[in-house]
Every structure is written in structure tokens, then in C-alpha cells.
Chains A and B, each alone.
Chain A
Amino acid sequence: MTLLILLLVVALLLLAPVVLHPSLTLRRAGRVFAFLAIVVVPAAAGFAGLEEHVERTKTVAFCTSCHVMQRYGKSLHIDDVEHLAAQHWQYNRVPQETACFACHTNYTLYGDYKAKLRGLRHVWVQYAGTIPSKIELYSPYNNRECLHCHAGARSFLESVTHKGEMAAIQANTKSCLTKGCHGTVHDVAQVDALALWPKEEKR
């Protein structure tokens, strides 16, 4: 981050001679300098900044910075392993810092980009649209996202329940989030009444 800010500041400083003394471009060396200062260095700094921003969009802190998502963030702290999101977060089954992204990206070729585009749409709805009273996924949760990590895991393969349903789970004809299986994910309706972990956390 510090290096990135430094790069952006250097890009700014390199622009100063071009803006203050554009006559320096009358010479060939000046034109090369102007090209570097106006195009090459700012473009490099811009891409570095974009990379930093994209990485930030993967963090739980980023997702929960919008009011509408705060209860979903809080649900990660529910002190009950039956709550799927809380269990994954609390037992480090997903990276804690990027838990939202780990489960809500699509593990396909352009899944990350699609997730970012959906995020842009959410910002649009936040400011220019109507936030729905109940937040829902665009499409039913695909088992592919679960199997991205769990497929091949001994705990998954040796589960008697999984063994009996393996074909349906892999074909996504039976959702992992079916009631009776892993049906409680983000219980945002009850989150305020439930015990949280760690207990000393005030959220």
C-alpha cells in the first residue's frame, strides 16, 4: 500500500514539469519524457491501484461496509456450528479475511469478474435503486462452490449421508443447502437474539 501511494505520488511529480513547462516537449528527449510522464507511468500506477482496490473488494470488511450487509457479517459470529457460514468462518474453513468472497464467487473461468460486476450492480442499487427488503441470491447456490474445496476431502467423502447422495450432489440436482442438510446459512432474522463468538465481541 505504501509502495503504491509512493508510485502514485511519483507519477504526480513526474507530471509537474510537463504541466508547468510544456515547452520542454519541443525537444525529442522532452517528448519522450512527456510520453512517460503522461501515459506510461500513470497507466502503471493506475493498474497497480486497480489491483489494490480489487483485492480489497474480497474482504469481509469491504462487504460489510454497506449497512445492508452488516447483519450478514454479524452472522459469521453466531456461536452455533449448525450455522454454515459461522462454522466456516470460525473454524477457518475459508480465509477469515475474505470469507464472503470465498463462498460467493463462482468457481468458473470468469467467476471472479462476474462477482465484481454483480458488486458494481449492488452499488448502483444502493444509491440509485431500491434495496430489497430480503436479500436473495441471483440464482440458487450451486454445489460447485462447495465442492471447490470439499470435493476429495476425506471428511466429505467418508460421510455416510454424502456417500448416499454423491451423484446428486455432484450433479447439483440436490443442493447442499437443502433443509436437513446444511439449510441454515446466514440466519440474519435471528442474529441479534443468538449468542456470538467470540463472546467479548461487541458487534
Chain B
Amino acid sequence: MNETTLERRLRASGGLVMLGLMIEIASLTWRHPTAFILFVVGGGAFMAAGMFWFLYTIVSRGGE
């Protein structure tokens, strides 16, 4: 994997986690059952995807 690809993947994973955090902050300003769902399904999913993508990126890079 060249460094450009690595950088692109890191940027993407960081962006996903950022998006997840922003959704979580937004959900905390609202007291409603839908806010809870938004937090778990929206924020949680983006954060998990970002973290997984980051870990996959560094693990797969280590294998090369």
C-alpha cells in the first residue's frame, strides 16, 4: 500500500469518526426516544465504521 492510499484511508476513518461524534453531540441536545436511536444507530455506526476502517488499514499495512 502506498502512503497516499494510507493517508486517504486514515482521512476517511477519521472523517467517519468525526461524523459519528457530531451526530452524537446533536442527539444529546434532544430529549426524545428518537434521539437515543440516533445516538446508537447513527452515531454509533459511523464511529464503529471509522474505528474498524482505521484498524483494518494499519493491520493490512503491517502485512505488506
Could you tell me which A residues sit within 8 Å of B by CB distance? 1, 4-5, 8-9, 11-12, 15, 18-19, 22-23, 25-26, 31, 34-35, 37-39, 42-43, 45-46, 49-50, 52-53, 56-57, 59, 61-62, 65-66, 119-120, 122-123, 126
Residues of A within 8 A of B25 (CB): 5, 8-9, 12
Contact present for B28 and A126 (CB under 8 Å):
no
* The one of A19, A46, A66 that contacts B24, using a Cβ cutoff of 8 Å: A46
Asked, given contacts A9-B25, A38-B13, whether A53 binds B35 with beta carbons under 8 Å apart, the answer is yes
Contact present for A15 and B18 (CB under 8 Å):
yes
Contact present for B10 and A56 (CB under 8 Å):
no
Q: Interface residue tally of chain B, by bracket? A: 35 or more
* The one of A4, A12, A38, A126 that contacts B22, using a Cβ cutoff of 8 Å: A12
* The one of B7, B33, B34, B40 that contacts A50, using a Cβ cutoff of 8 Å: B40
Given contacts A8-B28, A15-B18, A62-B32, 17 further A-B contacts (CB under 8 A): A1-B28, A12-B22, A15-B21, A18-B10, A19-B15, A22-B10, A35-B54, A35-B58, A39-B51, A42-B20, A42-B47, A46-B44, A46-B47, A49-B24, A49-B28, A119-B36, A123-B33
Residues of B within 8 A of A56 (CB): 31, 36
- What does DSSP make chain A's interface, helix, strand, loop or mixed? helix
Contact present for B54 and A34 (CB under 8 Å):
yes
Contact present for B51 and A38 (CB under 8 Å):
yes
Residues of A within 8 A of B17 (CB): 15, 38, 42
* The one of B11, B18, B37 that contacts A22, using a Cβ cutoff of 8 Å: B11
Contact present for B3 and A26 (CB under 8 Å):
yes
How many angstroms from the CA of A25 to the CA of B54 in the assembled complex? 12
How many angstroms from the CA of A151 to the CA of B32 in the assembled complex? 34
Contact present for B33 and A49 (CB under 8 Å):
no
Contact present for B43 and A5 (CB under 8 Å):
no
Name the CB-closest residue of A to B22: A12
Contact present for A123 and B51 (CB under 8 Å):
no
Nearest-neighbour CB distance to chain A for B38, whole angstroms, equals 10
How many angstroms from the CA of A173 to the CA of B40 in the assembled complex? 39
Residues of B within 8 A of A42 (CB): 17, 20-21, 47, 50-51
Name the CB-closest residue of A to B8: A22
